[in-house]
Amino acid sequence: MESNAPSTYPRECYADAKFWDDRFSEEIGQQYVTASELSDFSSIHTGSDIANSLWLQTREVLRLVLMIGCGNSRLPEELVKEHGFRHVCCIDLSTVAIEGMAKYYMEDAELRTKLEWLNVDATKMGAYFNGRRFDLIIEKGTLDAMMCSSSTEAAVAMLNEIPKVIEPNKGCCMLVSHNRKRDSLLLSHDVSLRVRAVRRGELSSQSMLVNILRSKLGNEYEYIKAADIGLDGL
Give residue limits of the domains in the chain: 18-226
Q: Which of 98-107, 129-138, 203-212 has the lowest mean pLDDT?
A: 203-212
Strands 115-119 and 87-92, bridge-based pairing: parallel
Which stretches of the chain are assigned E, i.e. beta strand? 64-68, 87-92, 115-119, 136-139, 172-177, 193-201, 208-215
Q: In angstroms, rounded to a whole number, what is the distance separating the alpha carbons of residues 208 and 144? A: 12
Average pLDDT for the chain = 67
Domain at 18-226, CATH class: alpha beta
| Least confident among 3-17, 24-38, 61-75 | 3-17
Mean pLDDT over residues 110-133, rounded? 94
Summarised one tens digit per residue, pLDDT across range 75-116 is: 888 888 877 788 999 999 888 889 888 988 988 988 999 999
Asked if the model's pLDDT at residue 210 lies above 50, the reply is no
**12, pLDDT greater than 70:** no
Dist CA 79 CA 155 (whole Å): 26
pTM for the model: 0.67
Q: How confident is the model at residue 124 (pLDDT cuts 50, 70, 90)?
A: very high
Q: What is the pLDDT of residue 114?
A: 94
Q: What is the DSSP letter of 67?
A: E
Sorting pLDDT into bands at 50, 70 and 90, what band is 118? very high
Contact 229, 26 (CB under 8 A): no
Helix (H, G, I), strand (E, B) or coil at 59: helix
- Residue 23: its pLDDT value, please? 56
Per-residue pLDDT at 36: 52
- Whether 137 and 174 have beta carbons less than 8 Å apart is answered as yes
